[in-house]
Chain A
Amino acid sequence: MSDEKNYRTDDPTDHLSDYEPVDYTDPVRQRLAEEPVEAIACQPCMSVSPTTTVREAIETLNESEVSSLLVVQDDRLLGIFTERDVLEKVVERYERVAHHPVEQFMTTDPTIVYSSDPSAAAVAAIAVAGHRHVPVLDLNDKVHGITSPRRVFEFLDAVAN
C-alpha cells in the first residue's frame, strides 16, 4: 500500500477533505492572519547589557532616538528598559540611581512574540496587552528584534492602499 493513499482528498476518513482555504477579500486581513511577525520590520533594535548604568542607558535612548532598549545577555532577553520605566522608576531620583545597573529598573518578563507567530499577534500584544514595545524572539528564544505600533502600521499600510 502506497503512503500516498493516506493523503487522498477523497478518502472518506480524511476529515480535512472538505477543507477550503479562506478566500480573503481584504489584503490587510490576509496579512494579519497569514504573514508572520518576522515580515514586520524588527530592526533597528537597540540592546544593552544588564550591567549598563542607568545614565548610559538614558543617554543611549536619547542619542538613538528610540523609546526602548532590550536588555540582553548571550543573545537571551532578560528584560526591556523603556521610557515608561524612566518615568515610573527613575526620573524623580535620577541623581541617586544614575550609576546603578539598568537591570534594577528594567521590566522583567515582558510580553514577547515569536518571529513565526502571525503578525496579528503583534497587534494583540500592543492593543490587548497594552505594550508599546514588543520584543521578537526566534524559536530558539534568541533576540530577533523589536516591534512597535508604528512598524505594525507601516507593515499594514503597504497593502492597505
Chain B
Amino acid sequence: MSFRKELADEKVGSLPLRDAIAVDGHTVVRAAVALMRSHGLGCTVIVDHHCRPAGIFTEQSVIRMLVQGVCLDTTPVSQFCDPHFFVLRTDDPIEKAWEAVTRSGARFLCVTDKSGELIGLTGQRGLSEYLCDTYSQQVTVQRLGSAPWMLQREGA
C-alpha cells in the first residue's frame, strides 16, 4: 500500500495523541506559561464552556507577546491566539493532518471526538512518530547523537 493511500485510509484517532492543556480565554499568560512548562508542552488550547476548542496559545504566541512587551499577569491568552489553529476529529483521515502541517505550517492540531469535545493534540510530532512506525526499518536503525557515525561504530 502506498504511503498516500495509508494516509487516506487511516484515521486521526490512530495517531499518537498527547494530552492537551485546556484553559478558558480569560486565563492570564503567566498561568498558561506555567502550565505549558509543567506539562512540557508547547501550547495550551483555549476551549469554550462545552470543552470545544476555540483557539490555541503557543510558544510562537509567547514570542509575539514578549516583543510587544505586554504584562504576563494581566493579559489573557485569547489576545495572543496563534493563527495556525486547526481542529480535526478522530474519524478524519490522517491525510487531513498531513495537509495541515505541510501546506499550512501548523505545528499543533486539536483533536476532538464526534461531539466536538477536545480529547487531545497531535501535529508535527504525532506525524513524525507515525512515520517512524510506518518506516521503522529505515528510521530506527539511525545514529542519534552529536558524534559522527564513524566515531560511534566499533571496529572497521
Q: Which of A's residues lie within 8 Å of B, judged by CB?
A: 26, 28-29, 32-33, 58-59, 61-62, 67, 83-84, 86-88, 90-92, 94, 109-112, 114, 117-118, 120-121, 123-130, 132, 139, 148-150, 152-154, 156-157, 160-161
Contacts and interface: CB of A to CB of B under 8 A. Distances in A.
Interface of B: 2-4, 7, 30, 33-34, 36-37, 42, 59-60, 62-64, 66-67, 72, 98, 101-102, 105, 107, 124-125, 127-129, 131-132, 135, 137-146, 148-149
B42 A87 contact: yes
Given A83-B59, A110-B146, A125-B144, A91 B2 contact: no
A129 B67 CA distance: 30
A118 B142 contact: yes
B30 A92 contact: yes
Which of B2, B33, B60, B139 lies at the interface centre, i.e. has the most chain A CB atoms within 10 A of its CB?
A: B139
B66 A58 contact: yes
Given A153-B101, A160-B3, A87 B132 contact: no
B93 to A, nearest CB: 14
27 contacts: A26-B2, A28-B3, A28-B135, A67-B59, A83-B59, A84-B42, A87-B33, A92-B34, A110-B146, A111-B145, A114-B148, A114-B149, A117-B142, A118-B142, A120-B135, A120-B138, A121-B142, A121-B144, A123-B132, A124-B142, A126-B125, A126-B128, A128-B140, A132-B124, A150-B102, A160-B2, A160-B4
Contact of B67 (A59, A125, A148): A59
Contacts of B146: 109-112
Contact of B102 (A118, A128, A154): A154
Report whether over half of chain B's contact residues are helix, strand or loop; otherwise say mixed. helix
A15 to B, nearest CB: 14
A13 to B, nearest CB: 19
B128 A32 contact: no
